[in-house]
Structure 1
Amino acid sequence: MRRISSSQQNRGITIGAEQCMQRPQTRCSPAVRATFAPHRARPWLFVLLVSVLGFGLLITLWTWLPPSTVLGATAQAQAQAQAEQSTRVHAHPSHSSTTSASTGSGSRHKPQAGSLASDPIESSHASVAVGSSLLRQAQQQLQQQKVDHHRKQQQQQQQQHYSFDGGRGGFRGGIGSSSSSSNSRGSSSSNSTKIMPSSALAKQHEEHQKSSVPPSAQVVVVGGGLAGLVAALQAAECLAEAEALASAVSPVSSSSTSCMPVQCGGSAATIAPSYAVGVLLVEKMPKLGGNSAKASSGINALYPEGGDSEELFRSDVASSGGGGSNPELVETLVRHSPSALSFLSAHGAALTAVTQLGGHSVPRTRTVAGGANVGWVLMSALMEAVRKQPRIKVLEGHSLRRIITAGELEGEVSSAHLGDDDKNPHAVAEVELGPAGGPDGAAAAASGPAYLSSPLSRVTCGALVLATGGFAANKELIQSVQPEAVGLATTNGPWARGESLAQAAAAGAALVGLKDVQIHPTGFVDPADPGAGTKFLAPEKLRGVGGLLLDDQGNRFVDELARRDTVAGAMMRLPGRIAWLLLGRDAGTEYGTSALDFYCKRGLMRKVETLSAAATAMGVSLEHLKGQLDEYTRVAAGGNVDSYGKRVFPNPPDPDQQLPLYLARVTPVVHYTMGGVAINERAEVLRAGPGGAPDGSGATIKGLYAAGEVTGGLHGRNRLGGNSLLECAVFGRIAGSQAAACGSR
């Protein structure tokens, strides 16, 4: 019998199978079917199953991942499979025919039985390898995307406040390319980075914003009261206008700008893209506000409708100051009062009511209709405006420790901060900031080792605006300059310590009028704690709407609308320095019954429904009290001048018609310090001569400005009520404009 070779046998099997497939009606022999089934049917079913699963996997990945990720992973998997195929082809010479066919040569070759293309088992293994590689690559890319996105968020959070985009209102993403590249390389080397929840990231970002100190700022404003907020907003808006003017195709009319005119050799703010932030607003308390948020009477501004004029306003300021006011500063205050009021209104702080306070010849004090806290109305609006201003970074819980001049840097200040032709050793170059000492931000109260060793940060700056307030809560300093006031309580918060006065003097600034400490006639006496060292202010507006002052016998003793120093002097001569403050019904309504109710709830004031109850509370006879009020009402109705020189009688408390009555105990308190850093009408800080006063030449410390209660020279020996907030607004705007435009160049 002739032996049949294995190759011939295989050929016969193939032919038999083909014949069976070509003639489906003809039944194949059992031998043929038995030979075909195990060798051909099962591998192809396996290949089909793997293909369907692979296709389903592709559809799933395409839906889950971005198309670019799937395409990239597919290409990588295919390249890997081709590389493996090429390796096997080159490792086995018998695969040469398959290789030549895949390269597209002119001759077509039938695949051999041992080639990758003709072997169904090998083909199925390759499909599984491609699918596994695709899944592995896709998972890796997805994880890498998450890690890279997380790291990018962290970098942006850490750096977005440290790369100011040249005054254009936005922040660039990074400090430097080296750190960013390093972080990118680190993320590429690890796929196991723990991703923080979005809420945790937001909290971390918020805390970082509050505590991080940038390396540089074009303008640094220290102080979060009204003067500081106005200066910061004005500086930021001037930088914005400068950028708009620089990029405008056609010239922009100067009349369309809100930045105040400046005097430093230019007419508009300059843009310095080398600074990390545009305006850095520093406040040592945990929140903005300061004493400005506590102001309750109002803010002055020219009011021609009530018979006011610039000459009359200047006269009232000068008269109140007792001849100690700087005429140039008074002129600036009065002339810019309407625009200051417009600035506040434009930022959401509109005051619609007008009243007349003590020492004013006519009504000009803008206040809140039916409410007492003018300061909170102003500050809440401006704090919101600051929050929305992208050029301002707020740094709370930090205090100014030192002002560093160019001379202290031993000539190392770059031309970016001092012009080549003006390398003034007295110019401000940097500031040193540190965490505020103590929970109340009072540095002197935390002068222990922890405060002294706290970390300090140096910030390069183009200009510095001091808006740090006065020193009415610093009993040591009050004792040294005005001993007569040291025994009185204060209305100021514990943060009002005046540390920046010494810092400014160390930088060469002149100080003026420190002995001029204002005693406010009326601070509330709390029956629950009559000896408290800090008292609520009984605002001058209480007397402005018609409140009367009576001694312990129920007698009037002063014109309630006289200058503050006059009323305070009369109060100081009373036994125990305590008097009664009494308001009738209409006066209470004009002041604001909600505010009076607040005082009553705090125990600072009481509301009585009858005159008899008022007399009992005061400890005087009903007849005597009624006689005093009847006489006052009679004089007011006749338009006469009373025995104390009073000419204005708002809302007289007629004992028969003005019920209920409101009563409170009041006493003099340290309220304001008129002295401070010497400035000129451009808010520039004057340089000191040998004795500490201005040297007389008008020389200034380049790049150093001041506004608000930290300054001296405007109010003289006694401040006119309502001028404190006006001073903050007027000179805050001037300081902000000058700092943005001039700096220390």
Structure 2
Amino acid sequence: MKKRGKFLAAALAVLLTVSLAACQKKANTTPETPAESSIFTPGTYEGKANGFHGEIKLTVTVDATKIVDIKAVHTETQGLGDMAVEDLIAQAKEKSSLALDLMSGATYSSNGFMAALEDALKKAGADIEKLKVKGEDEQSAQKDIVLDTEVAIIGAGGAGLAAAVSAHQNGAKVVVVEKMPNVGGNTIISGSAYNAVDEKRQSAMGIEDSIEKHYTQTYEGGDKQGDPALIRVLVENAYPTIEWLESLGMKFKDTVFTVLGGLWPRAHKPVEPLGTGYINTYMNYINQHQDEIKILTETEAKTLIQNTEGRVVGFEAQGKNGKVTVNASKGVIIASGGFGANIAMRDKYNTLWPTLTNIKTTNHKGATGDGIVMAEAINADIIQMENIQLLPMGDPITGSLSGNIEQGVENRIFVNAAGNRFVDEGARRDVMTKALMAQTDAMMWVIVDQHSYPTGDTVNNFNESIDSLVEQGRAYKADTLEDLAKQIGVDPQNLVKAVEAFNASVDSKVDEFGRTLFKDKLDTAPFYAGKRVPTVHHTMGGIKITTETRVVDKNGVVIPGLFAAGEVTGGIHGTNRLGGNALADVNTFGRIAGATAAKGN
């Protein structure tokens, strides 16, 4: 795998659909007509474009044939967007072109950088279209390759990387293929909440919890459609998997919280932003064992290979330069994620929601259900595909979870376009989303106060400061509820009444919508509001597995040599996944899959 930057995974910026407006300004030279053999007019030029958190400004120095230096001024997210910019600077200097490998998916940070770089190089007299063509060294002849390993994994998101590390720890050599340019999948852009019963952290906060409570809430929260045996594995192994992650160097905060739709305060939050902590932890390990764990990006698995006895012994994939055949002597693990970004597939299976065609998604663009299709092609049982989860927390423009101003369930309310509450804000995700869809324009405002943001530089669960969100117009701030109501266009009297009623419920613990999760009143300025809409978030259906992650066929018989873990599987969560259970699922079952496959039986 080609490494770009310290950790390929952590360079991923948040997935968003982006519209960039580049501003052109020359720095300190006047382009002259380049010599016939030159590419640029030597000098230093400035380029600008919009990034994720505002303007990206590049100062680019060139000589006649190459990019000599690039200096960047920006406010991109630390640990994500800033690393994307650093990675692209290194590539641009190495290649002296615009044919760069962008971060996985179309992102504000990477596309903003490219627009700013193009702006600067135009002023340097470059032929922009020619610079976008890859050089001969990158247009190598098609060449098929064959790789022999013990455990082969399809997908390099959280489940796939967990499986890779676990398989290696259990003595296996590993090959991982990932169709996207970078590893990380949905895990790296997640809000990072991880549910686990944790006596140490919860007891310190006065929170009573138990494995049985987590089991019951998960089972009943999915309308009792989840497989009880799989749920039992999840809740019993969630915390041991946190301990495993910590043994690998990952750090979690000392407190837990209730994540949206999580129903109870047991969500753990990593120290690193978004899901980068999980991916960095796995990549740290993998980078230390590169001779025995190989990752191929931009390599899309297409077909599973079975021997004459029906055992899965590998798969065929399409790489950048030809066909890649991976032979696996011990097992193949499918960890390719769900199908939230596949509109046709969503519409094919959806029976629970109005049409999902025009609903955006929180998922990265590679979440298209490929692994499910491959497994079904060899008669694997595919179950509960209609169970598609929506959230009420999508960004109105992109559908992503970024920009969400809530910090936890207990300290915020939802109001509709009239300024009225309309649902229990601590309810199941499907309950809240259905209630939101019944509101005018299917939109709502999240309302919080200083309890959630003690200072302007306090960040949300996506590492965005509240001040930056207000500056970008993605959140609103006021010293009074009346002023906040005017800013967001709702009836001031209604908003004030809604907050007053909520505050009374904090004292009485009796709420008109049946809410039971409370902490602080909304009574301390400044007050904040953020707009949210429904968005497709998780697909609970997929490949049927056993408690050891072995894939079973339509007759209930295990398919030898084939395993699956993560969102590609079905039957764990039922009709509705509790918030915070996805990362517990991904990491726990990824770990189990790696260990099971390494046994080779």
Specify which of 212, 222, 230 is matched with residue 321 of structure 1: 222
Give the drift of 1:618: 2.1
Distance 1:392 1:205 in 2: 26
Specify which of 520, 545, 557 is matched with residue 651 of structure 1: 520
Map 1:425-504; keep pairs closer than 5 Å.
Answer: 425-435=309-319, 455-462=322-329, 463-482=331-350, 484=354, 485-504=356-375
**Which ranges of structure 2 fall in alignment gaps of 5 or more residues?**
1-135
Q: For each residue in 1:121-176, what CA deviation from the matched residue of structure 2 results, as whole angstroms up to 9, or x when unmatched?
A: xxxxxxxxxxxxxxxxxxxxxxxxxxxxxxxxxxxxxxxxxxxxxxxxxxxxxxxx
Distance 1:343 1:383 in 2: 15
Distance 1:205 1:586 in 2: 56
Distance 1:342 1:309 in 2: 17
Give the drift of 1:506: 1.1
Change beyond 3 A, Cα 1:213–1:662: farther
Instruction: Return the letter of the residue paired with 1:557.
Output: F
Deviates more, 1:348-357 or 1:672-681: 348-357
Aligned to 1:613: 483
Distance 2:530 2:336 in 1: 32
Aligned to 2:208: 307
Distance 1:297 1:653 in 2: 26
Give the drift of 1:434: 0.8
CA contact (8 A) 1:404 1:507 kept: no
Change beyond 3 A, Cα 1:406–1:378: same
Specify which of 555, 558, 567 is matched with residue 700 of structure 1: 558
Distance 1:205 1:310 in 2: 56
Aligned to 2:459: 592
Change beyond 3 A, Cα 1:541–1:336: farther
Specify which of 362, 376, 380 is matched with residue 509 of structure 1: 380
Distance 2:326 2:391 in 1: 38
Distance 1:498 1:472 in 2: 8
User: Are 2:150 and 1:218 equivalent residues in the alignment?
Assistant: yes
Aligned to 2:39: none
Instruction: Return the letter of the residue paired with 2:325.
Output: R
Specify which of 163, 182, 186 is matched with residue 291 of structure 1: 186
TM-score by length of 1: 0.57
Give the drift of 1:403: 0.2
CA contact (8 A) 1:297 1:539 kept: no
Give the drift of 1:652: 2.4
State the aligned residue count.
448
- Report which of the two has the higher share of strand: 2
Give the drift of 1:337: 1.1
Give the drift of 1:207: 12
User: Are 2:478 and 1:577 equivalent residues in the alignment?
Assistant: no
Aligned to 2:598: 740
Q: CA RMSD in A?
A: 2.6
Instruction: Return the letter of the residue paired with 1:731.
Output: F
Instruction: Return the letter of the residue paired with 2:349.
Output: V
Q: For each residue in 1:250-271, what CA deviation from the matched residue of structure 2 results, as whole angstroms up to 9, or x when unmatched?
A: xxxxxxxxxxxxxxxxxxxxx6
Map 1:145-224; keep pairs closer than 5 Å.
Answer: 214-224=146-156
CA contact (8 A) 1:509 1:678 kept: yes
Q: For each residue in 1:566-588, what CA deviation from the matched residue of structure 2 results, as whole angstroms up to 9, or x when unmatched?
A: 10110011121111111111123
Instruction: Return the letter of the residue paired with 2:275.
Output: G
User: Are 2:269 and 1:401 equivalent residues in the alignment?
Assistant: no
CA contact (8 A) 2:482 2:496 kept: no
**Which ranges of structure 1 fall in alignment gaps of 5 or more residues?**
1-203, 240-270, 272-277, 408-424, 437-453, 527-531, 689-694
- Report which of the two has the higher share of helix: 1
Specify which of 535, 548, 552 is matched with residue 682 of structure 1: 548
Map 1:213-292; keep pairs closer than 5 Å.
Answer: 214-239=146-171, 278-292=173-187
CA contact (8 A) 2:395 2:404 kept: no
Give the drift of 1:486: 2.8
Distance 2:406 2:369 in 1: 27
Deviates more, 1:557-566 or 1:486-495: 486-495
Give the drift of 1:522: 1.2
User: Are 2:539 and 1:673 equivalent residues in the alignment?
Assistant: yes
Give the drift of 1:375: 1.2
Aligned to 2:102: none
User: Are 2:257 and 1:389 equivalent residues in the alignment?
Assistant: no
TM-score by length of 2: 0.70
Instruction: Return the letter of the residue paired with 2:170.
Output: C
Distance 2:480 2:424 in 1: 25
CA contact (8 A) 2:415 2:445 kept: yes
Q: For each residue in 1:405-446, what CA deviation from the matched residue of structure 2 results, as whole angstroms up to 9, or x when unmatched?
A: 013xxxxxxxxxxxxxxxxx221122101126xxxxxxxxxx
Specify which of 404, 412, 430 is matched with residue 565 of structure 1: 430
Aligned to 2:279: 379
Distance 1:293 1:720 in 2: 19
Give the drift of 1:321: 0.6
CA contact (8 A) 2:152 2:327 kept: no
Distance 1:433 1:364 in 2: 40
Change beyond 3 A, Cα 1:541–1:213: farther
Distance 2:382 2:213 in 1: 29
CA contact (8 A) 2:152 2:314 kept: no
Distance 1:498 1:281 in 2: 17
Specify which of 350, 359, 362 is matched with residue 251 of structure 2: 350
Secondary structure of 1:290's counterpart equals coil
Distance 2:344 2:371 in 1: 15
Q: For each residue in 1:212-244, what CA deviation from the matched residue of structure 2 results, as whole angstroms up to 9, or x when unmatched?
A: 9552111111111110110000001110xxxxx
CA contact (8 A) 1:359 1:721 kept: yes
Instruction: Return the letter of the residue paired with 1:376.
Output: T
Distance 1:583 1:374 in 2: 21
CA contact (8 A) 1:674 1:711 kept: yes
Change beyond 3 A, Cα 1:470–1:364: same
Map 1:19-38; keep pairs closer than 5 Å.
Answer: none
Distance 1:215 1:360 in 2: 42
Instruction: Return the letter of the residue paired with 1:556.
Output: R
Change beyond 3 A, Cα 1:469–1:458: same
Distance 2:137 2:244 in 1: 32
User: Are 2:237 and 1:366 equivalent residues in the alignment?
Assistant: no
Instruction: Return the letter of the residue paired with 2:158.
Output: L
Deviates more, 1:388-397 or 1:702-711: 388-397
Give the drift of 1:543: 4.5
Secondary structure of 1:336's counterpart equals helix
Instruction: Return the letter of the residue paired with 1:433.
Output: A
Distance 1:700 1:686 in 2: 4
CA contact (8 A) 2:404 2:530 kept: no
Instruction: Return the letter of the residue paired with 1:319.
Output: E
CA contact (8 A) 2:410 2:517 kept: no
CA contact (8 A) 1:525 1:604 kept: no
Distance 1:358 1:461 in 2: 40
Distance 1:609 1:330 in 2: 46
Specify which of 500, 511, 530 is matched with residue 642 of structure 1: 511
Distance 1:639 1:403 in 2: 59
